[in-house]
A and B are shown apart, each in its own frame.
Chain A
Amino acid sequence: MSKTLKGKELPILVMWIVVLIVFSSYFFGGSTLESAFKTLTVDWAIIITNIAIVVGSLALMQRSITLARREKSDKVDRFMQIWTVVLAVILFIIGTTLGIKSNIYSWIYNYILLPSWQTVYTLIIFFMATASYRAYRANNKYAVVLLISGVLVLMRNAPVGASIWSGFQDIGSWVLDVVNLSGSRAIMIGAMIGAISLLIKILTGREKILGE
């Protein structure tokens, strides 16, 4: 019995039931199926998704503590891991006791969290600039097409493009509305076929998605 519970067959059966409810309610309708669909999405999926975020956050903190306890780690790195956990706990206490609309919570969010997060995100701009000089070289025909389309779309989006030459707006729009559209559509249709094949693989147990 415990072997059955611990195996992957029962979870796959749960997946089958859920997928059948979702598909049946869409293709066949009917009050029973629609009610089952609503219960599944409104009640179950949302509550479980929210708890999943809690678990994910705790897993991150658990990992930080594990790394901090490792003696091989650098002292600075160990301090940073502990600092991460301490800050998470402090902000959680402030948020749940004083509320997110409190002055201190807003202050921490607007003046520390938000700018730090965004600044780390923007580091890539500098690396893209060096890549523009070192790596974006038209070594073959495909690279030429990639670079030209990228430059045309850049010039179309930047207002200076229209000031330099009005053609940038029209040609850039053509690249977006025809070339990009065609490529995106093909990718979308391909992704659609890929999603169906992934679903079949998951439902037949061929895909290791349940952490085996």
Chain B
Amino acid sequence: MRKTATLQKIGYRKIIYLLVLLSATIPMLYPIGLPVIVTKQTQDLYEYIEKLPSGSNVAIEFAAYAGMYPDAQAATRAGLIHLFRRPLNIVLWHTTADGPMLLSGEMKYVKMGNRVYGKDHVFLPYVAGSEATTAALGTNIRGVFKSDSYGTPIDQIPLMKDINKAEDFAVILVMASAGGNEEWAVRQWMIPHHIPVGAYTISITYPMLIPYWRAGSVIGMTNGVRGGAEYEALIGSPGPGLRRTDVMSSVSLLYVALIVVANVEMMREKRPKQ
């Protein structure tokens, strides 16, 4: 009687909250390291970048939104490591206010090697993101940005000498967007300028991009933390993605168990009493 009264006092809600905390904390302290199967969408994105010819110009729209960033963090970091490892010219700009701060956190993990700023990579500053901004960048980058993140006028940057519009790039990659930016890139870069779009995206956006991937508008995309873990496995650089898959597994199992228990209870309640 006492036990039931205590449980009723605590309430099922608190018990479930505690279960969620435990199911997330235990694998953090005692990881198992389950293997990750790489999906076709992530494989396509990786292979596309791997096969880009040396010296190709790559545009990166860094659209990180602080609230959802951890979901795309693993894939973004792995993507940046991969891109900077290859002999590609990178032009990166920010379309969210949080982008510059979050990117500086990720660049600590990227090995620059022999790269020289201004010659093979440029960081442009922040501009408020919208479909009009994406369209504008596709037609005239200098109209949007007058200087880079460090205040150097664009015309004085060697890499930007021959780059001013979408056609000057081999691909545009949208990183860490919380939704919308990938579709803007498809509509304003792929459709009018025929520049393929790749996405390092969050789980919420992933299902919505599948039709674009099937239609060939998007060359490949990653799927949140899971996609990040896959990409880390592909580039051989373990990071937050592979570290968090165990927690993902245990909390997902808890949710499925709760759904199953709830439905079994419901069926038992519906069974006619004998």
Contacts and interface: CB of A to CB of B under 8 A. Distances in A.
A16 B76 CA distance: 40
Contact of B17 (A37, A126, A162): A126
A43 B19 CA distance: 53
A46 B253 contact: no
For the residues of B in contact with A, the DSSP-based class is helix
B216 interface: no
Interface string B245-267: 11011111111101101110010
Given A41-B136, A100-B100, A129-B17, A181 B249 contact: no
Interface in A65-82: none
Interface in A119-147: 121, 125-126, 128-130, 132-134, 136-139, 147
A15 to B, nearest CB: 14
B113 interface: no
B157 interface: no
Contacts, number: 153
B153 interface: no
For the residues of A in contact with B, the DSSP-based class is helix
B10 interface: no
Contact of B261 (A45, A133, A184): A133
B135 A134 contact: no
A113 B39 CA distance: 35
Contacts of A193: none
Contacts of A106: 101, 104
Interface in A147-192: 147, 151, 154-155, 157-163, 169, 173, 176-177, 180-181, 184-185, 188
B68 interface: yes
Contact of B210 (A46, A157, A184): A184
Contact of B252 (A53, A138, A154): A154
Interface in A89-119: 100-101, 106, 109-110, 113-114, 117-118
A42 interface: yes
A117 B66 contact: yes
A46 B132 contact: yes
A157 B261 CA distance: 21
Nearest to A173: B39
Size range of the interface on A? 35 or more
Contacts of B252: 154-155, 157-158, 160-161
A21 B72 CA distance: 37
A177 B66 CA distance: 29
Interface in A38-86: 38, 41-43, 45-46, 49-50, 52-53
A177 B266 contact: no
Contacts of A161: 249, 252
Nearest to A150: B259
B66 A46 contact: no
B127 A46 contact: yes
A154 to B, nearest CB: 5
Given A132-B259, A157-B223, A157-B252, A113 B37 contact: no
Interface in B208-230: 208, 210-211, 214, 223-224, 226, 229
B235 interface: no
A185 B70 CA distance: 28
B13 interface: yes
B255 A129 contact: yes
B133 interface: yes
B130 A137 contact: no
Given A163-B34, A176-B207, 12 more contacts: A42-B144, A43-B143, A45-B133, A49-B128, A114-B66, A125-B20, A125-B251, A132-B262, A133-B262, A147-B263, A169-B37, A184-B208
Q: Which 3 pairs from chain A and chain B are nearest by CB?
A: A160-B249, A42-B143, A45-B132
Interface of B: 12-13, 16-17, 19-20, 34-37, 39, 66-70, 98, 100-101, 104-105, 127-128, 130, 132-133, 135-136, 139-140, 143-144, 192, 203, 207-208, 210-211, 214, 223-224, 226, 229, 245-246, 248-256, 258-259, 261-263, 266
